[in-house]
Structure 1
Amino acid sequence: MHGSLVTSSLIRETTENESANEGYRFGQEEETYNIVAAHGYFGRLIFQYASFNNSRSLHFSLAAWPVVGIWFTALGISTMAFNLNGFNFNQSVVDSQGRVINTWADIINRANL
């Protein structure tokens, strides 16, 4: 996503015969892309109100979106791995001798909510 946004909104510093990458140097102070063009491109790519006018909020969301996706994927995989099919308060916690250890879940289960 970030690459397509940047390449679609680069400020060209070179001629047509040179690569667009030749116009930029590592660590330069000036911006290499136009945020207004990126805003328009992102608005057409997703939808108008999902685009950002601010470069910092754009970069934060582009960084946070995959991180949150990875977290939820890990949560889903671990949920399936431990066979957690939701909140099930029907089984009580028992000790090694088989005696029930009363928990708040047992009280909720007895309340028939």
Structure 2
Amino acid sequence: TIMFPTLLTAATCYITAFLAAPPVDIDGIREPVAGSLLYGNNIITGAVIPSSNAIGMHLYPTWEAASIDEWLYNGGEYQLIVMHFLLGVASYMGREWELSYRLGMRPWIFVAFSAPVAAATAVFLTYP
């Protein structure tokens, strides 16, 4: 039940950020990096810029920022996309396990799919 809203939110925010997100201060030196198509990138060079290193490994929800502009400037949209995507993928893994349980199968697909999910978590959540 939580899989569809979280994945839809992640996809919608990703498309919006890819098209029109403002530049992000990625390294905390007040020199923003633009990654969206609206700011001069094309399909090849466009990206959603990760959160600022100035805030560290902290959750940066919308309500913690003084304004939406500050939240966007510090890369809050990246965290929104990653957190919703990982929650949606974890919910999908739960559905795989539930389906295998209901069909009387062993949950090997769930177990096999958990390794790439762990790698994606490390790359998208821990690394940037």
TM-score tier after normalising by the smaller chain length = 0.3 to 0.5
Question: Normalised by the size of structure 1, how large is the TM-score?
Answer: 0.34
Question: Normalised by the size of structure 2, how large is the TM-score?
Answer: 0.30
Identify the structure with bigger relative contact order (alpha carbons < 8 Å, sequence gap 6+).
2
User: Which structure has more helix as a fraction of its residues?
Assistant: 2
Higher Rg of the two aligned structures: 1
